[in-house]
Structure 1
Amino acid sequence: MKLRFATLLLCSLLLSSSFLEPAMADDDSSYCSNNCGVRCAKAGVQDRCLKYCGICCKECKCVPSGTYGNKHECPCYRDKLNSKGKPKCP
């Protein structure tokens, strides 16, 4: 009886975690698209800004406020560099 209960509990935990992960991913993508839209609002090349901001947001889970600067709010975002050693995130 205890073994059956433990097996049922384990299966229910595994199933519930598989349903929660996609929901959290949707939250991250809407968070990133909303905040990157604000961040890139005044960018000269918006499509490129949105692309790199989105990449950085997904990896760092944050986007600095405003359209420029404030990178101290998100050290991961601030410290990402491209292959040429320049800041990757707008």
Structure 2
Amino acid sequence: MTISKVSIASILLCLLLLNLTEAAHQVESTKAAASSTSAKIDCDAACAARCQLASRQRLCHRACGTCCARCSCVPPGTSGNRDVCPCYATMTTHGGRLKCP
């Protein structure tokens, strides 16, 4: 009877250690994923490039800056390429029009 109690205790201890190791691994992978997805970009430079041909530069730059801050992404080029940044491409105004230039 004593041997079975010791073996049960050691099994429980092993399971506890395994659970703690797995939890630590999940925390590390969550931190790594969060740091890679929240990569900061230079919104001013990206929006300056995006709005360089716009007829209303200030309006374009302001809207682009808002979209960039929320999405951390600006499509390349002066127009189009919206498939590169889905968040940027689908953001709308209160009136339902596309917000991002």
One-letter code of the match for 2:75?
A: P
Equivalent position of 1:72 in the other structure: 83
**RMSD in angstroms over aligned alpha carbons?**
1.4
Which of 58, 61, 84 is equivalent to 1:47?
Answer: 58
Write out aligned runs for 1:2-81 (5 A): 28=41, 31-81=42-92
Higher relative contact order (CA 8 A, sep 6+): 1
One-letter code of the match for 1:42?
A: L
TM-score calculated relative to the size of structure 2: 0.60
Equivalent position of 2:33 in the other structure: none
| Runs of 5+ unmatched residues, structure 2 | 1-39
TM-score calculated relative to the size of structure 1: 0.67
Equivalences, count = 63
| Runs of 5+ unmatched residues, structure 1 | 1-26
Deviations 1:21-61 (A, max 9, x none): xxxxxx54xx1000000000000000000000000000000
Q: Which runs of 4+ in 1 moved over 2 A?
A: none
User: What percent identity do the matched residue pairs reach?
Assistant: 44
